[in-house]
Chain A
Amino acid sequence: MLEFFKFIVEHADKLAEQTLTHIGLTFLSLCIALVIGIPLGILITLRPRIVGVVLGSVGVLQTIPSIALLGFMIPLQGIGPGPAIVALFLYALLPIVQNTYVGIREVSPALKEAARGMGLTRWQVLVRLEFPLALPVIFAGIRTATVINVGVATLAAYLAAGGLGEFIFGGIALNDTNMILAGTIPSALLAILLDAGLARLQHLRGLGRYRVMAVFFLLVPVLSSFYLVPRAGRPKLSAGFAHEFYGRADGYPALLRTYNLQLASRLIDQNLMYEAVRTNLVDIISGYSTDGRIKAFNLRTLTDDKHAFPPYEAALVVRQAALKQHPELQPTLDLLAGRLSDSSMTELNYQVDHLHKSPAAVARQFLTRAGLLRKPDGQKRQGKIVIGAMIFTEQYILAEIVRQLVENRTALEVITRTGLGGTKICFDALMAGDLDLYPEYTGTGLLVILQPPLAVSDTLQVSTKAVYQYVSREFNRKYQLSWQKPLGFNNTYALMMREGQAGQLGIRTNSELKLYLDQ
């Protein structure tokens, strides 16, 4: 409980911003739903033939699970506030159209006839009689729509539109209960307050009622503009961070600590993050430094000149027993030392992710270009080794490179076990002798496997070399595992910007970014 309040206090600014955005999203979509839904509801009272079609199709929209509707929005409209508002609007439509229709239909026919008998035109009957009398029912619909929207708006965070869902998604990604609650409790409170307030409006009697309802209609656009409030005072550049990056000690907190880099940030699903920066939704993201999309979307990776992020140098981890058993393995693996750089690894990832080439083909091309392959000598296979790989593109490619090189240079038969869940699984398999080697990252070896005291990891982190030496030594000693020489690239967190914008602003490093923001 205490931790929860601590979290709230620490993130008060962010929470206030998310709440405003949340209210804005809710009412902006409600506003559109009112502008379209009420006339539509009125229209179908005049055209009884289309009632079934209209209420039917609006009703079907309501049956689509909200997360699925948002999923459909991405291919149709991309990400950002636009698609999120469209989705919310579609949800708000049914209660408003339906209640407008029912409210008007339920006005007593005798009253309508009296009005017509006195010489009111169809339009006058609608404006002076039917609509005012239907208002309480319409208001019940607005109330339902508002409460639905407050709930569904938490999903807008998935489309990078902000709102209280950012903490909910972030909390789920990080398994952080306090973070989940920090998003859930305010959004539940918001729903309860709006529900109670609108219920009071709906049940108002007498003179004041119509005036108060008119005030509400005027208030909706005002509340909608809350969406713009957090944006109005924002700094020159806005950031979109993956939930994991925002919450992990070596992510955003490290950035804050090292550079004092205060960014107006939004939490985004890490797969949509690159898309968000590409489409100008945000200007800075927290990417992974070798992701293929850096090349595909023409992004610039900012240099971490003060070493806020721990190094994640890639190297092969091999069982010492396997090296002893197959002495020809060591010189072969040595050939790969320093062969890859951040940009060349990015290029390989790009070829697989975006040009849809197979990892095997990409690996072969790489080895050929590097001149590492010899003419096959057709000797008979003797002995075998097993290579593991985790479940992402880079690992598949690295495993292929090792397999092809070893099979070319030695008589060993190579078996690959790809798609393994994560470091822990690979490491355990290696210890058990089910694997002989797999590609690993120094930062992960340090933080996930060795888990030294914070003081130790903090001092090491400054130097790429120190981390490598530390894990190399400790793995040797503790687990009889040998870290091969680094492959040459560092797949760590990095801030990224669109190349065009970064070039224009002359930003190459995190320090330069800080300098620019402080200007």
Chain B
Amino acid sequence: MIVIRHLTKQYPTHLAVDDVSFEVGARETLVLLGTSGSGKTTTLKMINRLIEPTSGIIEVNGIKIGERKLHELRREIGYVIQETGLFPHYTIGENIALVPRLLQWDERKIQDRTRELLAMLRLPETYLNAYPGQLSGGQRQRVGLARALAAQPAILLMDEPLGALDPVTRSAIRREFRQLEEIRKKTIVLVTHDIREAFELGDRIALMDGGRIQQIGTPRELLLHPANDFVRHFFADQWLSLQLHVFSLEDLSPYLPDEQTPSPDARIFPAHTQLADVLQELAGPESVVFQANHRFITVQSATIWPALGQLLQNQTAS
């Protein structure tokens, strides 16, 4: 969907993006991760031409973006920024309908689409005539997402979309986003400085520093096989908790005992569920059952940690 080759942005004072290349496949979420000044936002904004590159090529759907009409290109790409991006003088309904109106959709279709999005993002319809200032930060962020999704773009660009929210709301909204079918179908480039966000939302992560991509790969690759010291140090702080995001129940199965007859009150999870999500659900001593290799396996929070210990030992050894 998106192909970037040797992208460079030179400002009079500094080099913001230095020879960056990557591809984003259809329905894939690529996270551009880095500290401020790493060039991640500049890279993102060059994709919808808010910033013009000094050199390099960007193709969207096989066409160089420089050859597209600017406004048409942008209307085909959903753009989500922090909740401050909503028009304060537009109602929620008007904010969501912004791009469909620019595209001159039929008014009935706009109304239907707006209601559909509100329902999907679990916002009451009474909010349609409210103004952004009357909503909470989390609600505003959902409206921001609805606005970007309104015209059904195939591609979403998200620039620190949750940056203005408190940590609890952030993780709640992240979970909601991941569960939305409509979002899973999109090709997404997401910019963040939050490592956990990157691990939770990214199919692949491009870790940037000093305008260059230090490493690009799946979360597991970055965590277990860092390409250089920078990458290793970057994750060092949260190394342990990040494991919970890169391993699923299935990864854990070899180190857990079989269970032929699951207890009747046990909850059944799919095997690919991330350990972090499992732990979220296990508040007490209940057990979780999942199916792997045609057998049922039971796990409790008490048994996850020893199994994970063995897994890690194995990983490092190999």
Contact = CB atoms under 8 A, between A and B. Distances in A.
Interface string B204-228: 0000000000000000000000000
A190 interface: no
B102 A110 contact: no
Interface in A189-210: 206, 210
A129 interface: yes
Contacts of A116: 50, 74
Contacts of A117: 45, 48, 50, 74, 79, 81, 157
B108 interface: no
B87 A119 contact: no
B89 A132 contact: yes
Contacts of B88: 111, 133
A185 interface: no
A260 B81 CA distance: 78
Contacts of B193: none
Contacts of A306: none
A158 B102 CA distance: 53
Contacts of B118: none
Interface residues of A, number: 19
A128 B98 CA distance: 10
Contacts of B147: 118
A118 B89 contact: no
B50 A110 contact: no
A114 B79 contact: yes
Nearest to B72: A119
A344 interface: no
A110 B72 contact: no
8 contacts: A110-B81, A113-B50, A117-B74, A118-B147, A118-B148, A119-B72, A119-B75, A132-B89
A124 B102 contact: yes
A129 B87 contact: yes
Given A108-B84, A132-B89, A120 B102 contact: yes
Contacts of B84: 108, 110-111, 114
Interface in B28-51: 45, 48, 50
A37 B193 CA distance: 45
B87 A118 contact: no
B50 A118 contact: no
B87 A111 contact: yes
B71 A119 contact: yes
Nearest to A124: B102
B296 interface: no
A300 to B, nearest CB: 63
Contacts of A124: 102
Nearest to B90: A128
A121 B71 contact: yes
Interface string B62-101: 0000000001111100010110110111000000001100
Interface in B127-148: 131, 147-148
Given A110-B84, A115-B87, A118-B98, 19 more contacts: A110-B81, A111-B85, A111-B88, A113-B50, A113-B81, A114-B79, A114-B81, A114-B84, A114-B85, A117-B45, A117-B50, A117-B74, A118-B79, A118-B102, A119-B71, A120-B71, A120-B102, A121-B71, A133-B89
A119 B74 contact: yes
Interface in A215-249: none
Contacts of B45: 117
A210 B50 CA distance: 30
B131 to A, nearest CB: 7
Nearest to B157: A117
Nearest to B71: A119
Given A113-B50, A118-B99, A128 B87 contact: yes
Interface of A: 108, 110-111, 113-121, 124, 128-129, 132-133, 206, 210
A124 B73 CA distance: 16
A126 to B, nearest CB: 13
B125 to A, nearest CB: 18
A14 B69 CA distance: 64
A124 B147 CA distance: 17
A133 B132 CA distance: 14
Which of A114, A115, A133 counts the most B-chain CB atoms under 10 A from its CB? A114
B223 to A, nearest CB: 32
Contacts of B79: 114, 117-118
A133 B89 CA distance: 7
Given A118-B79, A118-B98, A119-B102, A210 B85 contact: no
Please give me the 10 A-B residue pairs with the lowest Cβ-Cβ distance, nearest first: A119-B74, A114-B85, A119-B75, A117-B79, A119-B71, A132-B89, A114-B81, A118-B79, A117-B50, A118-B99
Interface string B98-133: 110010000000000000000000000000000100
Which of A108, A117, A206 counts the most B-chain CB atoms under 10 A from its CB? A117
Contacts of B89: 132-133, 210
Nearest to B99: A118
Contacts of B102: 118-120, 124
A408 to B, nearest CB: 88
A297 B121 CA distance: 82
Contacts of A113: 50, 81
Contacts of B81: 110, 113-114, 117
Contacts of B48: 117
Contacts of A121: 71
A129 B98 CA distance: 11
A518 B87 CA distance: 64
A210 B71 CA distance: 28
A203 to B, nearest CB: 15
A128 B84 CA distance: 16
Contacts of B157: 117
B34 to A, nearest CB: 20
B82 A110 contact: yes
Contacts of B99: 118-119
Contacts of B73: 119
Contacts of A128: 87
A122 to B, nearest CB: 10
A111 B82 CA distance: 10
B85 A110 contact: yes
Which of A119, A124, A133 counts the most B-chain CB atoms under 10 A from its CB? A119
Nearest to B74: A119
A76 to B, nearest CB: 43
Contacts of B71: 119-121
Nearest to B82: A110
Contacts of B87: 111, 115, 128-129
A128 B95 CA distance: 11
A182 B79 CA distance: 62
A111 B102 CA distance: 17
B121 to A, nearest CB: 18
Contact of A118 (B72, B74, B131): B74
Contacts of B98: 118
Contacts of B75: 118-119
A132 B131 CA distance: 14
B3 to A, nearest CB: 20
Which of A108, A128, A206 counts the most B-chain CB atoms under 10 A from its CB? A128
Contacts of A133: 88-89
B92 to A, nearest CB: 13
